[in-house]
Amino acid sequence: MLNEKKILTGKKVILMGGSSGIGFATAKAAVDEGAHVIIVSSSQNKIDKALTALPVGSEGYAIDLSKEENIKGFFNTIGKFDHLVFSAGENLTLNKVSETDIEQARNFFTLRLWAVFAAVKYGSSSINAGGSISLTSGTANARPGAGWAVASAICGAMEGFVRAMAVELAPIRVNCVVPGVIKTSLWDSMPVHDREELYQNMRNSLLVKRVGEAEDVAEGFIYLMKQKHATGQSLLIDGGTLLV
């Protein structure tokens, strides 16, 4: 019905990592559902570009999410809100354990795990009744390949964290989306030939016969905001990756 009120109308949604890729696709989808969105990114240029594609009144903040004090300061000033989505992450470097730079690996954990921890720590007390937190994992937890030690460890930690927070922060709903290979800038650190070979291999092997798009995962985040009864869950959006 044309006059039907959308479920997220009037809701405030914070998207950390919301200026590009899956986060930006989720921001656009949330707007389509009636939400007021606040996007956060480390890059002011990306924030500015993203805001041109979002409705007037949408907000954007450039914040270095690797610093706990920055995250604390943001939530201390942003006020009450309804839903938090965290999808921020830099391009992972895939190496076998014997070739892994442990200091670099620690940096990956800083943004992909500890920044998430800080966002939940400082943001959860400002979530309105009926609100939610939606985080991001990946199929590397359940099916890692050679060279995926860091990615698999982060994803496994994230899914454990989600379950723990669902218990600790109840009745706030805490869940995560578990994407397979999704066509975003995440893979830009790979040589072009290797990246295209990865996509082609996925097309050939996936049950749905196509590589996932950011919009596919965004639909998962919107579902987790809109539904009222699931918490502590990991929503798999992988085109059948774990079945083949």
pLDDT at residue 4, as a whole number: 59
Residue 143 lies inside a defined structural domain of this protein: yes
Residue 177 lies in domain: 12-232
Ranked by mean pLDDT, which of 173-177, 187-191, 205-209 comes out on top?
Answer: 173-177
Kindly give the residue spans of alpha helices, DSSP state H, lying in the chain. Answer: 21-32, 44-51, 68-78, 102-109, 115-123, 149-168, 192-205, 214-226
Place of tokens 């309105």: 128
Residue 5 lies inside a defined structural domain of this protein: no
Looking at the 3D structure of the chain, how many domains does it have? 1
**CATH value at residue 56:** 3.40.50.720
In 10 A of CB 209, how many CB atoms?
A: 11
pLDDT tens column, 23-62: 999 999 999 999 999 999 999 999 999 999 999 999 999 9
Backbone angles phi, psi at 6, to 5 degrees: -80, 145
Residue 241 lies inside a defined structural domain of this protein: no
* pTM for this predicted structure: 0.93
**217 CB-near residues (< 8 Å, 6+ apart):** 22, 25, 26, 177, 179, 182, 237
Strands 12-16 and 127-136: unpaired
Residue 238 lies inside a defined structural domain of this protein: no
Residue 4 lies inside a defined structural domain of this protein: no
Residue 84 lies inside a defined structural domain of this protein: yes
* pLDDT value at 3 more than 60: no
Residue 240 lies inside a defined structural domain of this protein: no
Residue 242 lies inside a defined structural domain of this protein: no
